[in-house]
Amino acid sequence: MNTDQAGTPNNYLKAIRLINIEEDKCTFEIGKIPIRQHINANYFFAQTDVSALEKIPHPAPRRQYVITLKGKLRFTVSSGETFIIEPGIVLIANDTAGDGHTWEIVDGNEWERIYIPLDEGTDDYFIAD
């Protein structure tokens, strides 16, 4: 089986999932999602604005996939731990309570992304490493 540079088999995409833990704190898990997996979603939308929430703590407004098309960002969770999101890494925003997370652009000044809201009760197909 071939693997990409990150060591993820070709039938998976690298993913990071934001989640709530005790006291509505936010943390993250690193893992993957299978390719060619049907996701039960009704719509998606694109966004390019970066002024609204950059560096401001916030929870996800809903469970959703966030697909970065352009940009490199550092996300920070409640503990102060950070991770990087860039094209090729799927973010699953599942931290819908509490203070949530912050993000900031670390390379350039653009973040083009697509949001795919997940229907209530839909599996996000995330597999933790």
* % the chain with pLDDT above 90: 71
d(CA 56, CA 103): 8
In the predicted model, what is the mean pLDDT of the chain?
Answer: 89
| Model confidence pLDDT, tens digit, residues 6-53 | 445 689 999 999 999 999 999 999 999 999 888 888 889 888 887 777
Q: Could you give the 3-state DSSP secondary structure of residue 24?
A: helix
d(CA 88, CA 45): 18
Domain ranges (residues) in the chain = 13-128
| Model confidence pLDDT, tens digit, residues 66-79 | 999 999 999 999 99
| Model confidence pLDDT, tens digit, residues 41-68 | 888 988 888 777 788 999 999 999 999 9
CATH architecture, domain 13-128: Sandwich (2.60)
In this structure, the chain runs to a length of 129
